[in-house]
Structure 1
Amino acid sequence: MLTVDSYLNRAERKQRNTIDEYINRVENANFATLSMGGNDVGFFNILNACAYAFYGPFSGSCEEAIEFAELVVASDEFATGYSAALDLLLEKGDSPSFRVLATGYSAFFDDALTDDCDEYSLSYWPGWWKKTLTVDIRSRINNICKKLNAKIGQIINARSDDRVIWVDWAWRFDDHRFCQPGKPPIDGENTWFFDVDFREFMPNGDIDIETCEQEALMSGDWNERAACGIAIVQAKFPNETLRGAGNDVDTQGGRRPFAPSTARLFHPTARGYAAIVEEIRLVWPYY
């Protein structure tokens, strides 16, 4: 089993080039935004193990995925790595007015945590692999998001550097998360996070299950990881022919079926990003 240290060291090796590549593109900028931390705590692993079960019986333990995320958030290594990324980005600002706006995360589920969603499932596969969105699961996933926000805020406050501005936009998503009381679990355009958008996808043998998992881990692409998991289950359980969750998931009419290029698993929708922009404008230092 990976320890926090070994995970963070691996994540640093895997992601440092990517971070450097993005930072090296910053030229003649007045400001930059930074969104970082979700992959470190393993949001995909949590959503896979606790909600979607793309890997079927190989999706891992929800309890262990959440406990691992809690360890990462609480670790000194996470704080050191986050602060180091800020330092690299600040070095790109030639102007005294250059600012970094560090954005956080929102809880995914409504804070009311009623039992309306207890029997609802986002799971891709039916049967005994199916996960349901119980109050306990929603509460624990929400708490990871809140703890991550709190940790990022602490890191920024401890720096005492007015060039870095903390943008805590989570409140903007109030009433726009999954599982709002008295409404459908995914409430059309009023839910500002994407579901997977792919209930009819089957890989048709075009994914190499021997290599796809490692390739997806190296790329950090959640869509590729989801597609890889589906391909592995299909290969190992060829009689599992039901398409998608096959249960109570509402595909909402005109939404496209899943393909790795269209999935935006639990990322903000266009309306969600517009709300984030509004929060950035609210804390913008030059008005």
Structure 2
Amino acid sequence: MHVSSLIVPALGSLSGVAGMPFWPSFSLDARRQSANEASVLSRRADCGNVCWSVAEDKQTDCKNDGTEWDLPERDSKNTLNIRKLAAIGDSYSAGIGAGDRLGTVFDAFKDGSDYACGRYNQAYPYLVNQDSRIGNPSERTFQFLSCSGAVTKDVLDKQIPKLDDNQDAITLSIGGNDVGLVSLLNSCIFQMGVFTKAQAAEAKVIAEVDKDYSWAKSVDWDSLSRGCQGQIDFSKSLANSEDFSKKLDDVLTAAKKKLADGAKIYVTGYAKFFAEDMTDECDKVTWTTWIYKLANLGQPAEYLTKDRRKSMNALVDTVNSQIEAAVQRAGDSVRFVPYDLYVGKYGGRYCEAGVDESTRESNSRKGLMFYELNTFDPLGMDPWKRQTEGGELSGTFYGDMLIYAQITRLLDPNAELHHQGEKTKAGASPDGDLVPRGEVSDYIIPAGYARVFHPQVSLHRMIASLVIYNIMMEHQLRIGYKDWVPENEVCKPTSGPTDAPEAKPTGDPEPTVPNSEAPLPTENPSIWKVEIYENEPYCEVKSDTRHRLITGTEFDKCYTLGEDMPGTGCAEQRGNGDVTGCVGDDLIPRSFRVTNNAECEFYFGGGCTTTPGRKPGQSCLEGQITLGIGGYKSFKCWEKK
């Protein structure tokens, strides 16, 4: 038998990323193999020479010793080939700061251009488009319309109308700006432009009556004076509102109209920014940006206290829940692709235990998946370098940050950046004037500020892998596999061809896949049983948990996951549903359990070569999931004496 579902890809390393691992590629073959090439289980190990003909839907003789399906091609267009791909959404999708900026500075003020929208060549949609696992990139049409600062209205009015019809796949990231991400970071983290209510009210009046301040008429002055907790409460109310839910629904409804038959929209969520163990080490850290010379200007510095971190994490969870609910309401043509779990699993958040989050000098660390103010990009970007030409559109993340800085410098010309590096001095504008809102060309603050709290390249690669994985699995489901016939029908079918031999079971009948609530079957010491759970660390069976039972009769023999495993059987369930066959490369092992009295040992290397192995006995063994570092690759079992 070939248990190709258990993929544990090897990790490479990204040159120049201080040991940060490449996010691994999946080894799943998305193309449907022909009948004489497929390596898919056809029967259990204890059945006779009996297979099930998918074409005729009945029992038949097995070919090739019963190790493959008797399976004709079911779909002549069975090769995965995404010919039309599109990306819409906000700065998380545009990839602001990740890699090289696309476009030219001459398009800096051209609404919707690559440069104005802050699109980068390491953004996850860009990486998905370049991947050959979903088809030949040279034959693919890719519309990269994601734009930094975009809200749902922008996606509806400016991006979706530009999409070609009959898209094979669309990626979407949206929602963060609708609940005020920029205002939240301004009020609680960087304080680029924060004032008292009296100062904000006075500035608002001046902007209305003084033509010299006409550029500031559309500034949300209220957001600049809410303070951190006030902004958190305001953003929370937005995220929990029916209006936000409706906006998400409207975007998905409009985007679905651009899909080809059977195509999907892949909606990526967001990840919590701060480590969830909430240590005390960040309580006295502030990332406020300005040292004010005027004693009465601005609000007190905000610190990364546990309460602040918990509140901001909770807001991310709320937004993700709303997005996932909208995806469910949208129906079968939309899929939610979460990644927050993996960011936490591998220590990719801010304020991880033992990490000094001071930003006075670069402390870029291995594993961090978001940009900090001082993160030196692995591809060469200097966070303290200021732009010298071009400009930014307001409404984009960087553009609004620059406007906040302009306001602060207008009220206090001598204010200095608290964390400015030696390579830049944030001096005043050469002529002291502000440009009209919509064209911000005075780069008071460094370019590194544009990408703070946005995914680093490593996180974009992880998201890209998850999207690709989902695209490939949707393809396998679309072309269809015959469900495994339950055991009481496999070995003793009620009907079959007249020339087929009667199936006679050998040894004890194989049990269905056990679950956490059902008793273990009567033991047969001549059979070993290993149960594998997808994305479940505690060997529990929840309603959507996919789990597989692999059985075999040969002891002290090494089996490598993802390679041929002759003489073994396999059955699969989702939750407590029907038992099916183990088809496809899609089940990601998270935990293991030996379900009878055999003894098994698991190894991190193939061929059972690494030492020491782990022997869980009959208890649950949690393995590193194969999307990350160090998954179990092989095991062997022996009869327990």
Q: Settle same-fold status: TM greater than 0.5.
A: yes
The answer for unaligned runs of 5 or more in structure 2 is: 1-150, 197-223, 293-298, 358-362, 375-382, 424-443, 477-641
1:112-132 per-position Cα deviation (integer Å, ceiling 9, x unaligned): 111111111211113664221
What is the aligned length? 254
Correspondence 1:271 to 2:271: no
1:63 and 1:226 map into 2 onto residues whose CA distance is 20
2:340 and 2:422 map into 1 onto residues whose CA distance is 26
Alignment of 1:212-251 (within 5 A): 216=394, 220-240=395-415, 242-245=416-419
Further displaced range: 15-24 or 229-238: 15-24
Q: Evaluate the alpha carbon distance shift between residue 34 and residue 224 of structure 1 in structure 2; reply closer, same or farther with a 3 A threshold.
A: same
8 Å CA contact 1:224–1:260 kept in 2: the answer is no
1:5-60 per-position Cα deviation (integer Å, ceiling 9, x unaligned): xxxxxxxxx85355333213332421001111001100111111011000043643
Alignment of 1:120-139 (within 5 A): 120-126=285-291, 129-139=300-310
The answer for unaligned runs of 5 or more in structure 1 is: 1-13, 252-256
Identify the structure with the greater strand proportion: 2
1:86-142 per-position Cα deviation (integer Å, ceiling 9, x unaligned): 01111011x212100111100011111111111112111136642211111111011
- Identity among equivalent pairs (%): 22
Correspondence 1:21 to 2:208: no
Q: Secondary structure at the match of 2:336?
A: strand
- Which aligned runs of 4 or more in structure 1 are off by greater than 4 angstroms? 197-203
Q: Evaluate the alpha carbon distance shift between residue 75 and residue 250 of structure 1 in structure 2; reply closer, same or farther with a 3 A threshold.
A: farther
2:406 and 2:300 map into 1 onto residues whose CA distance is 15
Name the counterpart of 1:193.
370
Alignment of 1:73-222 (within 5 A): 73-93=239-259, 95-126=260-291, 129-159=300-330, 161-174=331-344, 175-185=347-357, 187-197=364-374, 216=394, 220-222=395-397
Name the counterpart of 1:254.
none
Structure number with larger C-alpha Rg: 2
Correspondence 1:286 to 2:475: yes
8 Å CA contact 1:172–1:276 kept in 2: the answer is no
Q: Evaluate the alpha carbon distance shift between residue 262 and residue 134 of structure 1 in structure 2; reply closer, same or farther with a 3 A threshold.
A: closer
The code of the aligned residue for 2:398 comes to: N
8 Å CA contact 1:107–1:146 kept in 2: the answer is yes
Shift of 1:199: 5.5
Further displaced range: 102-111 or 224-233: 224-233
8 Å CA contact 2:160–2:255 kept in 1: the answer is yes
The code of the aligned residue for 1:173 comes to: V
8 Å CA contact 1:194–1:268 kept in 2: the answer is yes
Higher relative CO (Cα under 8 Å, sequence separation at least 6) belongs to 1
Name the counterpart of 1:71.
237
Aligned alpha-carbon RMSD (Å): 3.1
1:23 and 1:47 map into 2 onto residues whose CA distance is 28
Q: Evaluate the alpha carbon distance shift between residue 201 and residue 64 of structure 1 in structure 2; reply closer, same or farther with a 3 A threshold.
A: farther
Shift of 1:281: 3.0
The code of the aligned residue for 1:26 comes to: L
Q: Evaluate the alpha carbon distance shift between residue 39 and residue 152 of structure 1 in structure 2; reply closer, same or farther with a 3 A threshold.
A: same
Shift of 1:194: 1.4
2:184 and 2:154 map into 1 onto residues whose CA distance is 25
2:285 and 2:466 map into 1 onto residues whose CA distance is 32
1:228 and 1:139 map into 2 onto residues whose CA distance is 29
